[in-house]
């Protein structure tokens, strides 16, 4: 999805929107995988990595503002 270099260029609102959308996609992926074989077995891992990147960038910004 998005590399960390691009995360630093996003605004706080864009990061929040990306986090909400990615969590929704991960939730949908988990429930769709429960019934049948996943189309892309690496999708959940990529989504979790993107969520971690967003949360890391948000935490860095909080620490800088203090």
pTM: 0.85
pLDDT of residue 4: 58
Tell how far CA 39 is from the center of its chain.
19
Q: How confident is the model at residue 1 (pLDDT cuts 50, 70, 90)?
A: low
- Tell me the angle at which helices 12-35 and 43-65 cross, rounded to the nearest 10 degrees: 150
Structure tokens at 22: 């990615």
pLDDT of residue 50: 94
Mean per-residue pLDDT, 32-46: 80
pLDDT of residue 58: 96
Query: Domain extents for the chain?
Result: 4-65
- At residue 30, does pLDDT exceed 90? no
CB neighbours of residue 60 within 10 Å: 12
DSSP state of 36: S
Residue 50 burial (C-beta neighbours within 10 Å; 0-12, 13-18, 19+): buried
């Amino acid at each position: 999805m998005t590399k960390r270099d691009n995360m630093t260029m996003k605004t706080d609102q864009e990061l929040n929107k990306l986090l909400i959308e990615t969590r929704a996609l991960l939730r949908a992926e988990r429930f769709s995988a429960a019934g049948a074989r996943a189309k892309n077995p690496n999708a959940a891992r990529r989504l979790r990595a993107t969520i971690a990147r967003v949360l890391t960038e948000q935490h860095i910004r909080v620490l800088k503002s203090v």
